[in-house]
Structure 1
Amino acid sequence: MEWQKLTTIEQLQNLKEESKTQPVLIFKHSIRCSISSMALSRLEREWSEELNKITPYYLDLITYRQVSNAVETEFGVYHESPQMIVLNGGEVVFDASHMSISTEPLKKWA
């Protein structure tokens, strides 16, 4: 699993476009939250080669709070932390938060 960093609001349009050719995952992580750390660890542990068709983006929502807010506005997904959002075809097709985060639902887009 190779995380791409999501650090600017401008990247959101690029992610939307990228998702038209391959699925994109946004993981919103709070470095101050133990549940977020557990969800991140679980996602990384469960990631398998079959999921490499999905590009994973990591958003540190403490450092880049304005980007996290823009994700909510741009994609219409209520803010949660931790949160996993999947874009496909330019739109949100799945989201999960807290202990619902796992790789299992991602297999349908792999």
Structure 2
Amino acid sequence: MGIINKLFGGSSGPKEEKLLPWITLSELSQLDTINEKSSTKTQVIFKHSTRCGISRMVMNQFVDAYDVNENNLDLYYLDLLNYRDVSNEVGYKFQVSHQSPQLLVIKNGVVVAHDSHGAINELDLNQFR
């Protein structure tokens, strides 16, 4: 029974949920703020589709592996289904084609790294502090 629990998410006890210092990205005006703040502090945007199982899986892996001090970067969460206009503007403003899920790392107004799907979890955010 142990291997089945591991495969399908069962556990012997409750799992403590890890909370990240998410900043909800829901307004177009926040993109100007992100651009400005990126000159002094790394800005990261996680674009997530709440209806996509792959996006949910990647986000859960990202949360589990996250080990960056919140003083080193700002972490934005974008629900791209509820804020489609913001998601579209992210692509235009930062010149990155839309993917979902997608992670963008912004410094000095420029995307210095971005990836999508499982490759998100291969990015080492500590190198962009």
2:40 paired residue number: 21
Residue range with higher mean Cα deviation, 20-29 or 96-105: 96-105
Highest Rg: 1 or 2? Answer: 2
Distance between the aligned counterparts of 2:122 and 2:73, measured in 1? 11
- The list of structure 1 runs, each at least 4 consecutive aligned residues, that deviate by more than 6 angstroms after superposition, is none
1:51 positional shift: 6.1
Q: Scaled by the length of structure 1, what TM-score is found?
A: 0.93
Distance between the aligned counterparts of 2:82 and 2:64, measured in 1? 24
Partner amino acid, structure 2, of 1:87 = I
Partner amino acid, structure 1, of 2:37 = E
1:105 positional shift: 2.3
Distance between the aligned counterparts of 2:91 and 2:123, measured in 1? 24
Compute the RMSD of aligned alpha carbons: 1.4
Q: Secondary structure, in 3 states, of the residue corresponding to 1:32?
A: coil
Higher RCO by CA contacts (8 Å cutoff, separation 6 or greater): 1
Q: Which structure 1 segments of 5+ residues have no match?
A: none
1:66 paired residue number: 85
Q: Scaled by the length of structure 2, what TM-score is found?
A: 0.80
Per-residue deviation, residues 45-99 of structure 1 (Å, max 9, x unmatched) = 1111446511100000000000000001111000000000000111110000001
Distance between the aligned counterparts of 1:4 and 1:103, measured in 2? 22
Partner amino acid, structure 1, of 2:99 = E
Distance between the aligned counterparts of 1:51 and 1:2, measured in 2? 7
- The 3 A distance-change label for structure 1 pair 32 and 9 is same
1:24 positional shift: 0.7
Q: Which structure 2 segments of 5+ residues have no match?
A: 1-19
